[in-house]
Every structure is written in structure tokens, then in C-alpha cells.
Amino acid sequence: MPHPAPSLAPRGPAAAPPGPPRCRAVCGEAMRPSPASGTRGLWCVVLLALAGTAVLLPCRLADRNQTGLCKGLSLAQVPRGLPGGLRSLDLSYNKLQEITAGDFAGLTQLQRLDLGYNNISRIAPDAFLSNVLLEQLRLFNNSLARIPAPALRPLANLRWLDMSNNLYRSAALDGVFGTLRHLRVLSMGGPLLRDVARGDLAALKDTALQKFALKSASSLRRYEAGAFSWLNTTELWCDMALDESVAALPVMLRDLRGKPLDYLRFRNLFEFTYYQGTEDPFSGLAELRATKLVFYRGKFNENLLRLALLNVQRSRVRQLELVAIDFARSPQWNSSGVGAVAPRLDRLLLQDISNPDVLRFDWTFTWLSGVAALSIINVNFNYVPCDAWAEMRSVEFLNISRNRLEDAYIYNQRCHYHGVMPKLESLVLANNRLQSLATVASLTRTWPRLARLDASHNALGSLQETCQWGPTLRWLALHHNRVTAATFGCLPNTLEYLDLSHSQLDRLDMGYFARSPRLRELLLSGNKIKFIPSEWSCSSLEVLAIDGNSFGVITRGSFVNMPRLVSLTAGNNPYHCTCDLYGFLRETQRRGRPRLGDWPHNWTCYHPEALLDTPVASYAPRPLECDVPALVAVAVASTAVVVAACAALCWKLEAGCRADAEWVRRELLRRLESAEPPYRLCIHERDFMPGRWIIDNIVENIENSAKVIFVLSRSFIDSEWCNYELYFAHQRAVGLGYQDVILVVKEPIDARSLPRRFARLRKMLGSKTYLEWPREPGRQPFFWMQLRSLLGTPGGLGPSGGEEETDVDATSTSTTSTTATSTAVTTSTVTVITTTTST
């Protein structure tokens, strides 16, 4: 990745020669996205001929040299040699002190300029003379002692101007502002502004603003009546502390009567003290057209909040926000009108308030009774009293996320929940401390219209419980929880949307999908699912996300029982690049569905080793490797040539294979099936379901296994199929611990001599204790005693509580040409996969 050019800006007036400098740009393509544009940028080095000294431009260019990014480079002056075609320039967070006449003279196409967070104290009157196309100018947080009206005169196209948080003491606007007819957003003021005179804003009388913001000193000293009467704005943001001039607020509100004001926001209305007066500071609010009112920060006690709500109740305000306010109880509670505060609001937001007493500031919850959409976010409360639910009878949307709610505090069995929340359709419980899905179901079961529930970012799903849900729930988000396969038994069957992403899920419950005929969208991203069952059936599913899991095999039959599936996201999995995957991708391309939402990004081969980290899109097997008809034709044509060699080879291997298979049947199966109590065994030639794919038979038995036995012999290492079996077992094991794998070495094997492709087996032999079959008859009874000890009692077999993932989690299959044998033990069955499984 290219490194940014060093910061070496021109220093002092002598650095700028007369006339335009001659420059040569040397640009290198940057491989990281531009913060401003989201596209790839260019690191450019500009060489200037300045008295024979090369000067490097420290800025980064993006958007085909139309955006200059010079933010935070400690620049003391505006860099020279910027491309004349720039349309956007960010010089914020530097050390600029002055803007001179020539700083932007060559930037005639400039439309956006950010000079915020510098130390600019002077802007030359003709600083922007060449920038007549400028539409956005940010001078926020500088040291301007005067409003730079002369410099703004050429900017007839200016639409957005922020010159607030500067050091001027007067808010008087020059007549120049009356010529800025396109101005829509204006922010002004600063920490030294203590007086607002009647005529200060007169220049704006004919300007239709979308937003006007005014910041004053910590305590406004004087507001003259009529100062706001010049404004014609739909949004007014007042960053004014009225601790010492409370009487100014009703005057401001009267000045705004008849204006097109729709949004009114106060920041730090009372910054240092709680209001203790008896007069109503919000009188006049009812005469405004404003429909949205915001109080951000500042001190509120019960009496002040009550006065605000009483005026809201009489006004046109339908959206009220109380954000980050400092709420406290009033020492002397004014009880007049208690119970009458119940404004009808479309939306009420209470957010980032440390004192949860704000919820029942008047010792009741009646003020919530007329709210349609209620959000109580990060208000630090941990329980919901019984009477609160009844008061929220008008609520249609309820968000109580980012609090400290626990199961026993959100649902109280002594409370009466039937008939409450009659209008609620959507509930958000995200980012709390909930653990029981059954509790959430019990709380919401009788709410007649609840359709959407977001309970993400909790600790739900890990309990073994039974749930009873209401019949109306259609949408459920449980991402970032602790979901297991057993959780599916506690999910509603009425869902159309289910999100279980990032919830540590390692296997699926196929029965749930058969019971959920309406499910159309299922998100399982970022879990630990180790295989995709071939019997996965979901008749209505249209969208499926299984990216970021642990499975490696997808075949043409993986999703055949999802006839409506149109979108599949399945990247970022450890894919085994075989004919199965290749066939699935070709079939998907041929049919045009499902659409692979993240293809080809993050689709990478994990196995075989030769293809590790190869993009799946680049995997192209040999012509005959995956073409079965062609392969059969070639095989038939060459039979006469190879029959003798095959016969000789088969004769050589048959003895070993037959001996190993005979040992499994005569010794292993007989000993285990005749034990007291007996183990139930499954052997492939006897118990596998005819007509099914071999892999499906294997996976089904492995899935139900509690123990896995590998019977190893010297011929094992000669089999490519056995290597695949080991990989398959590693990838598709479901919940087996490391101690559930039992190695039985029938013939001596030197782990160091194993080929590299048997890295998993070599690691197991080097790190795990194994049983060795003794040839001496006198030692064999002790072998069977050890094996039965490792298997456990047949009636009590179950997966042990080992590690969640191991190097080899399950068994593997083998071909007729090998002598690998593996055995899977379930609670009622021991599955034996013999050397003839692959035939």
C-alpha cells in the first residue's frame, strides 16, 4: 500500500512566487477507500518549481482528482499547487490562522470547502473572489472576531454556511446576507455572544431558510423582542442557556408566531441550575406551528417537565424528544394538575437519561397514555411496574432497548397482562439482559396485534424451556444471542422472518422448518453450522443467508426441497472444492436461481490442500473429473486394457481389505452386540438405506453418534478416499467432543511416515492416546475391557461435554481398495462404516 506523502507545505510569504506555479503531478493508485467518497483514492505528489526546491503536497486526492483530503495534517497554510478541478476540499483540523486572497484563487470549480476546527482569525475580503460556484462553506470552531461578511459577497450560490463557535460578540448580520438568495442553512454564534438585538437578523427577512441555528454564551444576558421575528425557517436550533434570563423564552416564542416553523430544538436550556420559578417559561408554545420539539441536554426537574408537557398538550407538537437531559425530583412538588398531563403524541423519545425516575416523574405513567410510538433507550431502568403496561394503551411501537431489563423484572406473574397493549404491533427489547425466551413469550402472548419482535443482543436461547406465543407474530430478530438446536423448540411457527445470525448456533432442527409453512426469510450468518442436511425442507423460504459458518460441502441436492428459494448468501465458509460444489454452482448458473448474493466474494477453497485459499470461482476440474457419463464411456472403452492390471491390484489389496472387514464383523461387532447390556450396531452393507447418497447415509449416522471409532491399518494410508473421509468428519461433525473419538490401531503405523495429506490423522496419533489391538490372545480380553470403558454403558451413552470443536470430530468412509474402518456409537446404535462403503 502506498504511504502518504510527507507533510512539507510552503513556509512564509517568500514561498509563493508571482504567477501560477509550474507543477508536475506524480500519482500512485491507493488500494484503500477514500473516507470521503467510499471509492479508491489517489495519493498524489506534486512537485513545484519554487526557487529550485521541490515541495510535496501533503493532501490525498480522490474522485478522479475532484476531492482534496487535507484533514488533520497540522497545516499552517493552505497548500499550493492544488488541482484546479477540485470540487470539494477538506482542510479541517489543521492549524490555519489566516485565509489570504490567493489561497483558493486557482480553484474556480470549488463547490464544498471545509475550514472547520482551525485557528482562523482573519479572512481576506477577496479570499473567495474566484470561488463563485461555492455552495457549502464551513468555518465552525475558529477564532473569527467578526462575521466575515465582505469575504462572502461573491458567493451568490452559497446554500450552506456554518460559522458558529467563533469569537465574535455581535450577531448583527451585514446586508451581504440579504443577497445570498440561495442560502438554506445558516449556523452562527459562539461562546462570547451574550446579547441578541432586535435588528441583528433583519438581513434574513426575505431568505427562506430550512434551518437556522444560533449559539450564545453559557448564560444569555439579553434578548430583545422581535429579534426572531425576521426569521423564515422551518427548523430553529437554539443553543442558549437561559439560567439568568428565563423571561426571554416566552418572548422568543411570541416572535415565532405565524412563522413556517416546524422543528424547534433547545440545547442546554438550563445549563447550571434547576428551574425553581413559578412562571411558565413555555407559554406561547401553543401558538406556534411547530410539530416537533427537542430538548437536548440541560437540567430538568419534575416541575419544569410538567410545565413543558402541559404546553405540549395544548400545542401542535406531535413529536417530543428528551435526550441526555439531567433529570431530578423537585424538592417541592407542584401537585396542581396531576393526572392531567397526557399529551397526544405520534412519537416520544427518552434517550441517554441516567435517572429512570423520569419515566414516572409525576409518580404515575399517565403521561405515556397518549403516545403512539414510544422509545425509552438507555434510560438505565431495570424493571417495568405492573401499572406501566396498562397506561401504554395507545402505543403501537415500543422500543425499550439498551437498558438493564432482566427476565424477572420485565415479566411479573402477579401482574395482569391480558387486555393491555391492545394496539402494540412492534416491540424492541434489544441490548438488555434477558435469558428466557419463555418469559418473553409469556409477556407478549395476549397482545392481540403484536407482529414484530426484536430481542437481539441478549442472552436468549441457552435454556431448555417450552414457549407459548401469540398467533400474530410474523417477524423475529434473535441475532447476537446464545442459540442452540434446542432453541427451535421454543420458536413460534407463525414467522415469516427469522434472524438467528451471530448466535453460536452449531446445528439445525429440521422439524422446526417443517412446522413453519410461512417462513420466507431466514438469516443464519456468522454461526458455527457444520453441515447442510440434504433433507432440509422449507417450502416457502425465499431468502437464505448462511455465510460465515463452518460447513464445507454444498451439493445439487442441498436446497432442492426449497422450491421458492431465490436468494442465497453462502460465502466465507471453508469449502471443499469437489465435483459436488462444482455441480451445484453449474446447476445454479444454468437455472438462474437461487441468486448468490455474495458471489464470488469470500467464496474460497479450504480443501484439498493444493487449492487452499483459491477462489471457488477459479476452481475448474478436469473435463472428465466431474462428467460422469463421459467418465463411464472412457472407462468402458479402456476396460480391456486395464482389466488385467485391475485384477492384479484387486487381488493384492483384497487380502488386506477382506481381513480387516472380517475382523470388524467377527470380532468388533460380535463383541459389542453380544455384550450385556448389548450395544446396537449399524454396518453399511446391512443397515444403510438403499438408494441414498453414501455421504447422506454417513452424515445421518454421524449426526446421531456419541462415540466414533477409527480402526486403522497400514492400507489406510494408500487411500485418497480415506483422506476425504477424515476431512469430511472434521467439517461435518455435530457437537462431538475430542474425547468422543476413539482410535483403534489394528496394525502398527508410524505417524511420522504418513503422507502430508494425512495431517489430521498424524496430529491425532501424536496427541491422543489410542488402543492397540494385541495379537497375543491372552491380552485381548483386556483390550475389550478398555474399549467398553471408553464407550460407556449402552443405555447411558451421550456426547461428552468436551470441546466445542476438535481436530477430528466424526468418522469417515472408505473405498473397497482401503482397509479403513470407522464406527459411530449413538444412544442406541453403533454405526460401522466398512471398507466397501464407497462401492
pLDDT in tens, 808-836: 333 333 333 334 444 444 444 555 544 44
Q: Do 740 and 824 form a contact (C-beta atoms < 8 A)?
A: no
Closest CA to 653 of 479, 501, 820: 820
What's the confidence (pLDDT) of residue 743? 77
Q: Comparing 264-268, 386-390, 573-577, which segment has the lowest mean pLDDT?
A: 386-390
Whether pTM > 0.75 for this model: the answer is no
What are all long-range contacts of 650-654, with beta carbons under 8 Å and residues at least 24 apart?
650/817, 653/715, 653/817
* pLDDT top residue among 152 and 676: 152
Burial letters for 408-447: b for 16+ Cβ neighbours within 10 Å, e otherwise?
A: ebbbeeeeebeebbeebebbbbbbbebbbbbbbbbbbbeb
What's the confidence (pLDDT) of residue 339? 47
- Bridge-based pairing of strands 574-576 and 160-162 is unpaired
What's the confidence (pLDDT) of residue 807? 37
Q: Do 772 and 749 form a contact (C-beta atoms < 8 A)?
A: no
Rg (CA), the chain: 37
Helix, strand and coil in the chain, % to nearest 5:
25, 20, 55
Q: Comparing 228-242, 397-411, 684-698, 772-786, which segment has the lowest mean pLDDT?
A: 684-698
**Nearest 10 degrees: CA dihedral of 449, 454, 458, 459?**
60
The cell for 690 is 438403499
Rounded Cα–Cα distance for residues 420 and 452 (Å): 17
Q: Comparing 260-269, 302-311, 759-768, which segment has the lowest mean pLDDT?
A: 759-768
Does residue 744 register a pLDDT over 70?
yes
What's the confidence (pLDDT) of residue 259? 96
- 603, with CB counted inside 10 A (0-12, 13-18, 19+), is buried
Q: State pLDDT tens for residues 85-111.
A: 999 999 999 999 999 999 999 999 999
- 790, with CB counted inside 10 A (0-12, 13-18, 19+), is middle
- Bridge-based pairing of strands 567-569 and 604-607 is unpaired
Over residues 483-512, mean pLDDT: 96
Cell 481381513 maps to which residue? Answer: 659
The cell for 58 is 501533503
Does residue 738 register a pLDDT over 60?
no
Rounded Cα–Cα distance for residues 455 and 443 (Å): 13
The cell for 220 is 444569555
What's the confidence (pLDDT) of residue 790? 79
Over residues 653-663, mean pLDDT: 64
Closest CA to 519 of 481, 555, 474, 482: 474
Closest CA to 222 of 199, 248, 201, 200: 248
Q: State pLDDT tens for residues 587-645.
A: 999 999 999 999 998 899 999 989 999 999 999 888 767 765 655 555 555 555 555 55
Rounded Cα–Cα distance for residues 685 and 36 (Å): 65
Q: How many CB atoms lie within 10 A of CB 61?
A: 25
Q: State pLDDT tens for residues 28-63.
A: 333 334 444 443 333 433 333 333 444 577 899 999
The cell for 543 is 431468502
% of the chain exceeding 70 in pLDDT: 75
Q: Do 817 and 657 form a contact (C-beta atoms < 8 A)?
A: yes
DSSP-derived secondary structure for 526-558: TS------TT---TT--EEE--SSS-----TTT
Q: State pLDDT tens for residues 170-203.
A: 999 999 999 999 999 999 999 999 999 999 999 9
* pLDDT top residue among 649 and 817: 649
Q: State pLDDT tens for residues 79-88.
A: 999 999 999 9
Rounded Cα–Cα distance for residues 757 and 84 (Å): 61
The cell for 513 is 422448518
Q: Chain-wide mean pLDDT for the chain?
A: 82
Q: How far is residue 654 from each of residues 34, 662, 675, 716, 836, measured CA to CA in Å?
A: 65, 11, 30, 13, 11
What's the confidence (pLDDT) of residue 190? 96
Does residue 803 register a pLDDT over 60?
no
Instruction: Tell me whether the omega of the peptide bond preceding residue 10 falls within 30 degrees of 0, making it cis.
Output: no
Over residues 333-340, mean pLDDT: 54
Q: Do 383 and 413 form a contact (C-beta atoms < 8 A)?
A: no
- 98, with CB counted inside 10 A (0-12, 13-18, 19+), is middle
How is the beta sheet containing 705-712 ordered, strand by strand?
Answer: 681-683, 830-833, 821-826, 705-712, 741-745, 771-772
DSSP helix/strand/coil, 711: strand
What are all long-range contacts of 514-518, with beta carbons under 8 Å and residues at least 24 apart?
514/538, 518/474, 518/494
Over residues 456-460, mean pLDDT: 97
DSSP-derived secondary structure for 310-359: HHHHHSS--EEEEES-EEE--SS---TTTT-----EEEEEEES-S-GGGG
Cell 477462489 maps to which residue? Answer: 615
First to last CA, the chain: 53
Q: Do 710 and 771 form a contact (C-beta atoms < 8 A)?
A: no
Rounded Cα–Cα distance for residues 110 and 129 (Å): 12
Q: Comparing 333-342, 674-683, 782-791, which segment has the lowest mean pLDDT?
A: 333-342
DSSP-derived secondary structure for 119-172: ---EE-TTTTTT-TT--EEE--S---SS--HHHHTT-TT--EEE--SS--S--P
Q: State pLDDT tens for residues 499-535.
A: 999 999 999 999 999 999 999 999 999 999 998 988 8
Q: State pLDDT tens for residues 207-263.
A: 999 999 999 998 899 999 999 999 999 999 999 999 999 999 999 999 999 999 999
Rounded Cα–Cα distance for residues 7 and 55 (Å): 9
Question: Which residues lie closer than 8 Å to 259 by C-beta, 6 or more apart?
Answer: 231, 232, 233, 288, 289
Closest CA to 389 of 361, 433, 359: 359
Burial letters for 158-196: b for 16+ Cβ neighbours within 10 Å, e otherwise?
A: bbbbbbbbbebeebebeebbeebeebbbbbbbbeebbbb
Q: How confident is the model at residue 804 (pLDDT cuts 50, 70, 90)?
A: very low
Does residue 78 register a pLDDT over 90?
yes
Q: How confident is the model at residue 22 (pLDDT cuts 50, 70, 90)?
A: very low
